[in-house]
Amino acid sequence: ETGVTQTPRHLVMGMTNKKSLKCEQHLGHNAMYWYKQSAKKPLELMFVYNFKEQTENNSVPSRFSPECPNSSHLFLHLHTLQPEDSALYLCASSQDEGQGYEQYFGPGTRLTVT
């Protein structure tokens, strides 16, 4: 285990549903990330939080809404998704710059939008 947990591991939702993905890291890191992994495509960075502040939003549609209440928890709120949003959503964490470079990933949430 990497010290990064994600729940749920699998989620099926309709296009009109609202759901949330949860990530928790037990590593004492200050930065947390959301990535989207689609079949046959590179991992895509969605959001970056550093010390609870969002520092990057890589042109992600507003139907994805992140929340970082503290440095250990990260959420991704989902609403009115499209079938093309079906993917594996990965959370990662790292120490801040100057302390360490490594990003540690959770196991992911497999999301299917019907």
Helix, strand, or coil (residue 107): coil
Task: Give the residue, chosen from 14, 18, 55, 77, that forms a contact with other proteins under the rule CB under 8 A.
Answer: 55
What is the C-alpha separation between 42 and 30, in angstroms, rounded? 25
Task: Give the residue, chosen from 4, 11, 68, 113, that forms a contact with other proteins under the rule CB under 8 A.
Answer: 4
Shortest distance in whole angstroms from residue 6 CB to other proteins: 8
Pick the piece of the chain touching other proteins (CB under 8 A) from 11-19, 61-69, 79-87, 95-103.
95-103
What is the C-alpha separation between 69 and 84, in angstroms, rounded? 28
The answer to whether the beta carbons of residues 90 and 32 sit under 8 Å apart is no
Contacts of 44 (CB under 8 A, 6+ apart): 35, 36, 37, 38, 58
72 binds other proteins (CB under 8 A): no
Contacts to other proteins by CB under 8 A: 2, 4, 6, 30-31, 33, 40-43, 45, 48-51, 53, 55-56, 90, 92, 94, 96-98, 101-108
